[in-house]
Copies of this chain bind each other. A is one copy, B any other.
Amino acid sequence: MQQILTCFSPVLFPHYLTENSIAVIIDVFRATTSICTAFQNGAASVRTVASTTEAMDWQAKGRLVAAERNTQKCDFADFGNSPFDFTAEKVSGKEIVFTTTNGTRAVEAAFESDEIVIGAFSNISQLTEYCLSKKKNIIMVCSGWNNRFCHEDTLFAGALAERLMAEGDFEVSCDASMAAIDLWKITKTDLKNYISKSEHYKRLQKNGHDHEVDYCLTDDLAPVLPIMNKEKKIFTLK
């Protein structure tokens, strides 16, 4: 039986790292949602980097750069972090470099896992299928906000865990996974309303991004499975 672990902040990852594991990177608002959209629209690869300086270096080498800090697009960047930025016209066939406030930090934290994949409501069915096809433990890595716990990533972790428990040979082996599932169960029929009380929704709203929320909370709009090539440190489609 495989374990389902949930890590509420990138800072906590070392305390959840388990052998034979797939780390699911979750940043529903909005990095992992946007990465799925970019692949759905034909992007060739996505590289996540921690600093804007590193992103600028890649831009100088001809890559397209998505860069966001505190919900806002960085001036030098080609894209911010809105899924609507990544149209087929702009991204098809392109190598994209991503740096965001929280999502890229989660990717770095999870590097010691055997496999690293991208998770969002946008690709939940594809991701469920992939996790079910492997005999591995699953570590949900919630990006949170500046290392704090956040609702939207936790609820996604609960949604994915619920599917894995229903369809596969998994067990919930930490209190955090149990809490994520319980929070998902009480919110799933009224998700948008619940999320609207969260810290990050208010932040998005304040900065004029609340119209992206519906997209970010909808299942299977971008049915892809981005997986990390750990040698090259880029995500490509499976």
Contact = CB atoms under 8 A, between A and B. Distances in A.
Interface in A163-219: 173-176, 178-179, 182-183, 186, 197-200
Contact of A199 (B6, B147, B175): B175
A61 interface: no
A182 to B, nearest CB: 6
Contact of A178 (B146, B147, B197): B197
A178 B195 CA distance: 11
A69 interface: no
A68 B174 CA distance: 22
Interface of A: 6, 8-9, 11-12, 15-16, 145-151, 154, 173-176, 178-179, 182-183, 186, 197-200
A186 B16 CA distance: 26
Contacts of A179: 149, 151, 154, 179, 183
A236 B11 CA distance: 33
A12 B15 contact: no
Contacts of A182: 183, 186
Nearest to A154: B179
Query: Which 8 pairs across A and B sit closest by C-beta, in order of nearness?
Result: A149-B176, A15-B147, A151-B175, A150-B175, A175-B199, A15-B148, A175-B198, A11-B11
